[in-house]
Amino acid sequence: MKNILLIEDEINVVSFIKKGLTEEDYDVSVALDGSMGISMAENNPYDLLILDIMLPDKNGIDVCRELRSKGIQTPILFLTALNTSDNIALGLNSGGDDYLGKPFKFVELLARIKALLRRSALGNAAETLNKENIYSIANLNVDDNAKTVERNGDFITLTATEYRLLLALIKNRGRVLSRMDLLESAWDINFNLGTNVVDVYINYLRKKLDANYEPKLIHTVVGMGYVLKEA
């Protein structure tokens, strides 16, 4: 169930929206002025805010700006009778995500809510994906979404095999990986244990990633394998 905060002082509008959204299986909380709305938005994990502009105590534009300044990125739908182009632009420029003028039809309000929630879900998924697939150590950054490698601001070109080998090392940074671990990660096949293919490719990586940069990151652990670490 999605949680929505409605910041609105007109009781008849509050009743109409709360009844309709509750029937659509949304959990609706209500704040009757701007200060209460800010406090509730700061202390509760809402999925969406519906915000009137003409509010007692603190208007909706100021509420929106204050919430955004505090790092609260919950989608905000402005709902107000002030629906001129200038007011729409003011609301969106203050940090709002959409704008619906009064009077309105409930079906349109519902459609805008669903669209904002879908957009928010996609954005959160993309953000999570991006964070989960970016790896860093010292001044080395590997973006596995874009398949890019950057060291100290320089983009470095790797072959596909070199990239897979580096990815195995940086995903396990600080952990010693045996040659067999690296063979299975980078080549996905079992070579003869006596092969020196890992040593050869580690040497390629060192020339590209460590030779001209500090600190050295690729370290040999004699008799055990290799580890990616700062020291």
pLDDT at 196: 81
The domain ranges of the chain are: 3-132, 134-228
- Greater confidence, 197 or 127? 197
72: Cβ–Cβ under 8 A, 6 or more apart, which residues?
41, 42
The whole-number pLDDT of residue 136 equals 92
| 33: three-class secondary structure by DSSP | coil
pLDDT for res 165: 92
| Interval 107-133 mean pLDDT | 73
Q: Which two tokens stand for residue 108?
A: 């349109």
> 3-class SS at 97?
coil
> What homologous superfamily does CATH list for 3-132?
Response regulator (3.40.50.2300)
pTM for the complete prediction?
A: 0.54
- Helix, strand or coil, per DSSP, at residue 25: coil
Q: What is the pLDDT of residue 1?
A: 79
Give the tens place of pLDDT for each residue, 171-193: 899 999 998 888 877 775 555 54
DSSP run (H or E) holding 134 = strand 134-137
Q: What is the pLDDT of residues 5-26, one digit of tens each?
A: 999 999 999 999 999 999 999 9
The contacts of residue 125 (CB under 8 Å, 6+ apart) are none
Q: Which CATH class is domain 134-228?
A: mainly alpha
Q: 197: burial class by Cβ within 10 Å (0-12, 13-18, 19+)?
A: middle
d(CA 157, CA 75): 39
Please tell me the predicted confidence (pLDDT) of residue 37.
93
Mean pLDDT of the chain: 86
Q: How far, in Å, CA of 14 to CA of 43, rounded?
A: 21
pLDDT for 4 beyond 70: yes
